[in-house]
Amino acid sequence: MNIYFEKIRIINPYQEIDAQFDLWIKNGRIMHLSPDSAKTDEDTRIVNAESLVCSPGLFDMHVHFREPGFEHKETTLTGAESAANGGFTGVVCMPNTEPAIDNVPVCEYIANRAKGNLVDVFIAGAITMGRKGERISPMLELLESGVVYFTDDGTCITKSEVMRRAFDYAATKDILLAQHCEEHSLTDNFAMDESALSYKLGLKGYPTVAEEIIVSRDIRLAEYCGNRRIHFSHVSSAGSVELIRTAKSKGLRVSCEVTPHHFTLPNSLLDSYDPNLKMNPPLRSDQDINAAIEGLKDGTIDCIATDHAPHSLHEKEVEYEKAPYGVVGLETSLGLSLTYLYHKKVLSLREIIEKMSVNPRRLLQMDDIVFDIGSEANITIFGLDEEWLVNKSNFKSKSLNTPFVGMKLKGKPVFTFNNGLVHESEL
């Protein structure tokens, strides 16, 4: 599909661009980019784009595509389709598959499954074999096979000695390690955030300190091991945000992400016992939400990532305490970010694009996306003021476990371009 966008606002932080242009994408490449108009051909669709914004393709560094082993929840193909529908051109899939991504054949299997998609599917390898927190995986081999960072996501490496060895091993290639921060002895079989409400509802609580203990430990370990790179996944507590802020002020190479559900949904919603509100880490207090928003504003929080965690209908539609943790998020992430961060004047459009495209790519040392004549289009186009209701029947994900059904959002993806392909969002 060849499309000519008339008078579209283009924002590219890589190039310090924020201006209105005419943009022509033909055969997957930028054919025209100028304040002036161009003569098109009959094969090109003309779009009046004065209400649209063009940015570098969105990138989510934390998704679960479930393949291999849990294809009834999601596959690489359905996950990529979901990502494109939500405006993403790149994602990183987590290693908590079966078998885990701790060996080269599994990496090659996923890479082959990802070929030919609009969305670039990158791979996070396991830090330890089988994600059991004991033996370090063959990181260098996995790195050569295309792994972009390492994590045991879904579980925390609770043994400090193992995490120290991981930092030492990672030092040989300056590898980025990420941590799922959860002191499991304090959270076993939890159902929600530990709070007055959890006691009232009779649900096992997950105290914020269980996250903060690991954040604090890994900051200290990363510093002790020579200022190694450490990324904290889905931070959810005010205490974690403050620990990371302090570490950054000392010059430590610390980064982190927050999910849209953790800056939009309070734990008070759990009195509904809706299993689609059950996630790990759990929804937190208003104080924690406010801390996440402040962390996004002051740059403590580098990225917005979905932690897209699909589960099938029969798994989620059970008694709350028996439901698995996790929600899908790729198709609501941009809408939630624009609604709660841009339209509420928390972040500028440039800052949202940085956290949803620029920063994750730079953390993973990927090439900048540059808009030049002749360059391949890696682009997300969205309607800034378009209002819509979240309807999971329009999702491309194989699973539909979202807590946002029926929510009115302002701002939505419209087109996604990458790898010579284009997707027009059906949300």
* Domain ranges for the chain: 2-54+377-424, 57-363
The beta strands (E) that lie in 102-194 are given as 120-125, 147-151, 177-179, 192-193
Give me the pLDDT at residue 69, please.
97
Give me the pLDDT at residue 1, please.
87
CA angle 91-150-214, nearest 5°?
Answer: 110
Give me the pLDDT at residue 403, please.
98
Count of H helices and E strands in the chain? 13, 18
pLDDT (tens digit, 9 = 90+) per residue, 261-297?
Answer: 999 999 999 999 999 999 999 999 999 999 999 999 9
Between strands 120-125 and 88-93, the pairing is parallel
Q: Could you tell me the strand order of the sheet in which 254-258 lies?
A: 58-63, 88-93, 120-125, 147-151, 177-179, 230-232, 254-258, 303-304
Give me the pLDDT at residue 380, please.
98
- Sequence-separated (6 or more) residues with CB below 8 Å from residue 76: 65, 67, 93, 110, 113, 114, 117, 121
Residue pair 45/3 in contact (Cβ under 8 Å)? The answer is yes
- Which residue's entry shows tokens 């300056």? 174
Tokens for 193?
């955030």
Amino acid, single-letter form, for residue 345 = K
Amino acid, single-letter form, for residue 395 = F
pLDDT (tens digit, 9 = 90+) per residue, 110-167?
Answer: 999 999 999 999 999 999 999 999 999 999 999 999 999 999 999 999 999 999 999 9
Between strands 58-63 and 88-93, the pairing is parallel
Q: What is the band of 334 on the pLDDT scale with cuts at 50, 70, 90? A: very high
Q: What is the band of 199 on the pLDDT scale with cuts at 50, 70, 90? A: very high
The DSSP annotation for 4-28 comes to: EEEEEEEEETTTTEEEEEEEEEETT
Whether 414 has a pLDDT exceeding 90, the answer reads yes
Nearest to 182 by CA among 282, 322, 293: 282
Whether 3 has a pLDDT exceeding 90, the answer reads yes
Q: Give percent above pLDDT 90 in the chain.
A: 100
- Which residue's entry shows tokens 């509802």? 201
pLDDT (tens digit, 9 = 90+) per residue, 340-394?
Answer: 999 999 999 999 999 999 999 999 999 999 999 999 999 999 999 999 999 999 9
The alpha-helical segments, DSSP class H, found in 202-281 are 208-224, 238-249, 260-264
Phi, psi of 418 (to 5 degrees): -175, 150
3-state secondary structure of 232: strand
Nearest to 241 by CA among 292, 307, 302: 292
Residue pair 60/90 in contact (Cβ under 8 Å)? The answer is yes
Contacts for 193-197 with beta carbons within 8 Å, 24 or more apart? 193/267, 193/270, 193/282, 193/283, 193/284, 193/285, 195/267, 195/285, 197/267, 197/268, 197/270, 197/271
**What number is the average pLDDT over the span 181-193?**
97
pLDDT (tens digit, 9 = 90+) per residue, 29-67?
Answer: 999 999 999 999 999 999 999 999 999 999 999 999 999
- Sequence-separated (6 or more) residues with CB below 8 Å from residue 178: 124, 149, 150, 151, 153, 230, 231, 232, 233
Q: Do the domains spanning 2-54+377-424 and 57-363 agree at the CATH topology level?
A: no
Q: Give percent above pLDDT 70 in the chain.
A: 100
| Residue positions annotated with a catalytic role | 307
Amino acid, single-letter form, for residue 382 = F
- Domain at 57-363, CATH from 3.40.50.720, 3.20.20.140, 2.40.30.10, 3.20.20.10: 3.20.20.140
Q: If one looks up domain 2-54+377-424 in CATH, what number appears?
A: 2.30.40.10
Length of the chain: 427
